[in-house]
Amino acid sequence: MTKPFSLLNELENEDGEPSHLKRGKIVSLLKEKFDFENSHLRPPNSKDKGILAKCFGYFAPDQAKELGIYPYFKEIQEIDGCRVVIDGKEAISISTNNYLGLAQDASVISAAREALEKFGIGCTGSRFLNGTFNLHKTLERELSSFLSREDTIVMSTGFQANQGTIACLLGRRDVAFSDRENHASIYEGCGVAQGKTVRYNHNDMDHLEYYLKKYSDVEGKIIITDSVFSMSGDIANLPAIVKLAKDHGASVMVDEAHGLGVMGEHGRGVASYYNLEDEIDIYMGTFSKSLGSIGGFISAKSKIIEFIRHKASAFIFTAALPPASVAGVIAGLDIMINEPERINLLRENTAYIKRGFFDMGFQVNNNSIPIVPIKIGEEALTLYLNRLLFDEGVFAGVAVSPVVPPLNAMIRTSYTSVHNQQDLDKVLGSFKKLGIKLGIISKE
Ligand SMILES: Cc1ncc(COP(=O)(O)O)c(C=O)c1O
C-alpha cells in the first residue's frame, strides 16, 4: 500500500481550533490534491478517440492511489471471523456481512470440505441441464421448510436471483414499484425486464401510494423492496407496503439479503419480525451475508418457482452453485436455526456499538440492524478518514458518489456476532480519536 498520506499533519494537530473550521481547512487542503466530487466527470483526454477513449481518460483511481486513500480491492491475506491481515498488517474488520461468523466456522468448513472431496470443485454446467446435484435439492427443501414456503429455487448469486426473477416476471404490460434505495440487482432486473418500473422515494409510502393510484388501471403490479437497505441500514416499512399492496391489488417481493439471520425468529427476516410472512409473495435471500458463503434463492408458491425455474435466463444460462458452497450453506443454516445465541450476540454487539457512536455525536439508526453507516459528507474527508482508520488497525468500507448522492459520503461499518467487546471498543476509540483530529466531531 502507498505510504501513509501525511500532508495534513500540521493541521490535524492544531488543538483548540473549533472543529468545523478545522474540518473546512482539511477538506480544502485535500481538494487541492484531488478534485473528489468532480473526478468522475472529467472528459476523456482529447487525443484518445473511439469507444475506449473513456478508459484512457479515467484517472480517478490513479489519483486516489497516489494519495494513499484508494479504498477498494484491498488484498486480504488472512481472515478469521472479524480479524483480517492486509498488507501484512492485522486489522479488525468492520467491513463484512459475515453477521453470524459462519464463513470461517469449523463445522461449516468441514461440511464444505466433505462435499468438495465427494463432488469436486464445480458443477460444470447449468442447474437446468447437468448441474443440479442432490445438495441443491436438499438446500431448496430445507429453505422451504425453514421459511414455510411451498418451494425454493437456489441460484448462483443473490444478484442473479433478483435480476433473473424480476426480468422474467415483469412482462410487457406490468409495472414494478421499486424503492429508490433498492439494491443494484433489483435495478438491473427492472432494467432488462420488458415491463415498466417506477421508483418511489426511499421508504416514502405516500409516494408509493401516489404511483399505485397513477397506475390503477394496470393489472400486473408488483412492489419490490429490500427489507433492510444495504447502505443506510434502514428497515422497509413492510406493514404499510403490505397494506398498500392489498388496497391496490399488487404483489410484493422482498429482498431479505440483510434481514436473513439478523431479524425475526431464528433469523427468518424482517417479514417474520413483522409477522407478515404470509403477505409476501416472493421472498428473496442470499447466502453471501449471514450464511457466510455465496449464492442466492427465491422462495414462493410452487407455481411461481416452477415458472422462474424455466424462464429466468440468469438461472438457466449460468453454471450451478459449487457443491462445497451449497454444503456449507446447509451446515450454516442448521447452525443458524439451532444456535440462537449467535443472533442474540449479534444484537447485543449492534446495540453496544450504536450506543457508542451515538454518545460520540454520530447519528445512528435506532434499530437492531448491524449495518451502521457513519455519515461524513465530503468524499475527500471520508476517504482520508478511512485510510487513517486502517492505519489504526480498523478495516472499514466507504460509500461515495454515485453509490450515495454527492456530499453524502459515508464509512459503511457493519458488525458480527464474532466481534468481542475489546474489538468494539477499539473501533469506537479509533473513530473518536480520528473524528476529533479531523474536526468531524467535537472533543466533548
Ligand atoms: C440488498 C442486497 N440484495 C442483493 C444482493 C446481492 O447478493 P449477492 O452478493 O449474493 O449476489 C446484495 C449484496 O450486496 C444486497 O446487499
179-189 per-position pLDDT tens digit: 999 999 999 99
What is the CA(167)–ligand 1 centre distance, in A? 16
Q: Look up residue 193 and give its three cell numbers.
A: 425486464
Indicate the number of domains in the chain: 2
The packing angle between helices 379-391 and 421-437, to 10°, is 130
Q: Is the CB of residue 163 below 6 angstroms from any atom belonging to ligand 1?
A: no
Last residue of a domain, one of 338, 372, 394: 338
What is the CA(50)–ligand 1 centre distance, in A? 34
Output the pTM of the full model.
Answer: 0.94
Q: Do 397 and 261 share a structural domain?
A: no
Q: Whose CA is nearest to atom 10 of ligand 1?
A: 158
| pLDDT classification of 14: cutoffs 50, 70, 90 | low
Determine which of 222-226, 260-264, 440-444 has the lowest per-residue pLDDT on average.
440-444
pLDDT digits (tens, 9 = 90+) for 63-96: 888 888 899 999 999 999 999 999 999 999 999 9
| pLDDT classification of 401: cutoffs 50, 70, 90 | confident
Cβ count near 334 (within 10 Å)? 15
Establish if 49 belongs to a structural domain.
no
How far apart CA 67 and CA 33 sit, in angstroms, is 8
Pocket test for ligand 1, best of 230, 231, 234, 263 (most atoms within 8 A of CB): 230
Q: Whose CA is nearest to atom 16 of ligand 1?
A: 230
Q: Do 22 and 83 share a structural domain?
A: yes
Q: Is the CB of residue 255 below 6 angstroms from any atom belonging to ligand 1?
A: yes
Q: Look up residue 389 and give its three cell numbers.
A: 482508520
User: What's the domain range around 152?
Assistant: 106-338
Q: Do 326 and 387 share a structural domain?
A: no
> Which atom of ligand 1 is nearest to 160's Cα?
11
Establish if 208 belongs to a structural domain.
yes
What pLDDT is stored for residue 45 in this prediction?
Answer: 60
Q: Are strands 83-86 and 89-93 parallel, antiparallel or unpaired?
A: antiparallel
What is the CA(230)–ligand 1 centre distance, in A? 8
pLDDT at residue 38 above 80? no
What is the CA(326)–ligand 1 centre distance, in A? 17
Q: Do 291 and 227 share a structural domain?
A: yes
pLDDT digits (tens, 9 = 90+) for 158-196: 999 999 999 999 999 999 999 999 999 999 999 999 999
Establish if 346 belongs to a structural domain.
yes
What pLDDT is stored for residue 27 in this prediction?
Answer: 84
228: phi then psi, degrees, rounded to nearest 5? -125, 125
What is the CA(181)–ligand 1 centre distance, in A? 13
Q: Is the CB of residue 232 below 6 angstroms from any atom belonging to ligand 1?
A: no
Q: Who wins on pLDDT, 298 or 401?
A: 298
Q: Look up residue 112 and give its three cell numbers.
A: 464444505
Q: Look up residue 266 and give its three cell numbers.
A: 431464528
How far apart CA 403 and CA 405 sit, in angstroms, is 7
What value does the mean pLDDT of the chain take? Answer: 93
What pLDDT is stored for residue 24 in this prediction?
Answer: 85
Q: Do 176 and 301 share a structural domain?
A: yes
> Which atom of ligand 1 is nearest to 294's Cα?
10
How far apart CA 84 and CA 93 sit, in angstroms, is 6
Cα-Cα-Cα-Cα dihedral sign, residues 25, 27, 30, 33: negative
| pLDDT classification of 406: cutoffs 50, 70, 90 | confident
Q: Do 346 and 228 share a structural domain?
A: no
Q: Do 329 and 223 share a structural domain?
A: yes
Q: Do 354 and 287 share a structural domain?
A: no
Q: Do 309 and 289 share a structural domain?
A: yes
Establish if 198 belongs to a structural domain.
yes
pLDDT at residue 2 above 60? no
What pLDDT is stored for residue 21 in this prediction?
Answer: 79
What pLDDT is stored for residue 31 in this prediction?
Answer: 79
Establish if 3 belongs to a structural domain.
no
Q: Do 267 and 287 share a structural domain?
A: yes
Strands ordered across the beta sheet of 175-179: 151-155, 296-300, 282-286, 251-255, 221-226, 175-179, 196-200
Establish if 51 belongs to a structural domain.
no
Q: Who wins on pLDDT, 403 or 104?
A: 104
Mean pLDDT across 318-341: 98
Determine which of 32-36, 175-179, 285-289, 308-312 has the lowest per-residue pLDDT on average.
32-36
What pLDDT is stored for residue 56 in this prediction?
Answer: 82
Q: Select from 132, 128, 151 the least CA-distant residue to 140.
A: 151
Instruction: Report the CATH number at residue 174.
Output: 3.40.640.10
Please check whether residue 283 is in contact with residue 257, taking contact to mean a CB–CB distance below 8 angstroms: no
How far apart CA 367 and CA 363 sit, in angstroms, is 12
pLDDT digits (tens, 9 = 90+) for 273-286: 999 999 999 999 99
Determine which of 47-51, 136-140, 271-275 has the lowest per-residue pLDDT on average.
47-51
pLDDT digits (tens, 9 = 90+) for 368-381: 999 999 999 998 89
pLDDT at residue 245 above 60? yes
Establish if 80 belongs to a structural domain.
yes
Last residue of a domain, one of 338, 360, 384: 338
Q: Do 225 and 171 share a structural domain?
A: yes
Instruction: Report the CATH number at residue 376.
Output: 3.90.1150.10
Q: Do 345 and 330 share a structural domain?
A: no
Last residue of a domain, one of 338, 367, 384: 338
User: Which of the residues are catalytic?
Assistant: 230, 258, 289
Establish if 305 belongs to a structural domain.
yes
